[in-house]
Amino acid sequence: MPHGRFVDKVLEEGSSATCSFSKLHLLLWGMTGMFHLHADHKHLPVRIFRAAEARMLDSALDFQGFTLWISAYTRSSSRAVDMVLSIMDLFGVNLDVGQFGQDDRTKATIAMLRALMADPRATATWLYVAPRMTPSKELSTLPQMPETSESGRAYIHTTKGRVLAFEAIGRGANIWRTDGAPRGEMTNSGYFIFWGKAALLVYEDKDERRSPLLPKGYDDRETWAIVVGRFENLNRNPVTWKIQGYNSATSAKPEGLYELTLMLVERHGYGLYHRVGMEREIDERKVAG
């Protein structure tokens, strides 16, 4: 992060949180009872930052760079490579722009990801950028690269035709949680190497690549489901699977459950895989073992 020392100084992992003053006022007024669900603290110190410091903190913490990736995919430029080089400073990366030609977007993206992953605290939040979109043929851990234009608009080619990138990516329900995003390293050739729990899958129909059913034996095009996210959802009813609220002042802590995010990858060479899909809100209890 460009302001790493500042962030390290004021935040304590697992014990700190940030919010605006108006949100803090709301929390102190109506949700104080929820603090006991997350940590056993006798004191809850509050530190108020000036505007300049707050902007520095937001830049470093905002979904760990996730929203920057969304922004990069919904803007355009006259040169494809500038869609990457124009955001590298926001990620705290300094690449030698002279190494890239105007069409070296994939090369520049790989270089930026390699630099990002060199930070031991970095997580692969780019895995969650528009997971429902078709993966990029050049870099499958990202969705397909948008088409650039001098008009200032970025376009994506979909099964419905050419659409604006921000419409293809979507908002709201299309924004996935990044909890538990993996750490790892990016190779020069664009493969992301990381450790994670995984299971071999079989499909009901070889041509139906979206219906994983049972474990299967090894073959030339084996498909794996890898855990790339884990989120404790206290608002999910473990029996009905419905989202339900509760009053922390009058109710006991709900049972909740852990939801997993899975990345589906297919083998295309010895030890080489590419992403073919993503799934979320998977009940951990049903895949444990």
**Domain locations in the chain as residue ranges:** 4-174, 196-286
Helix (H, G, I), strand (E, B) or coil at 121: coil
For residue 90, the one-letter residue type is L
Name the strand (E) or helix (H) holding 195.
none
d(CA 132, CA 264): 12
Low-confidence residues in the chain, pLDDT < 50: 1-9, 59-60, 62-63, 209-218
User: Do residues 165 and 99 lie in contact, with contact meaning Cβ atoms separated by under 8 Å?
Assistant: no
User: Do residues 201 and 210 lie in contact, with contact meaning Cβ atoms separated by under 8 Å?
Assistant: no
Q: Which residues make Cβ contacts (< 8 Å) with residue 244, sequence separation at least 6? A: 235, 236, 237, 254
Residue of 133, 128, 131 lying closest to 163 (CA atoms): 133
Token pair of 203 as six digits: 């499909």
For residue 135, the one-letter residue type is P
Looking at residue 138, the DSSP 8-state letter turns out to be S
Residue of 193, 226, 200, 198 lying closest to 124 (CA atoms): 193
d(CA 252, CA 158): 47
Q: Give residue 260's pLDDT.
A: 94
Token pair of 82 as six digits: 């500038």
Residue of 214, 230, 212, 229 lying closest to 266 (CA atoms): 212
Helix (H, G, I), strand (E, B) or coil at 54: helix
Radius of gyration of the chain (CA): 21
Pairing of strands 184-186, 161-164: unpaired
Q: Which residues make Cβ contacts (< 8 Å) with residue 179, sequence separation at least 6? A: 229, 230, 231
For residue 34, the one-letter residue type is M
d(CA 223, CA 276): 9
Residue of 188, 201, 170, 172 lying closest to 263 (CA atoms): 201
Q: Give residue 24's pLDDT.
A: 67
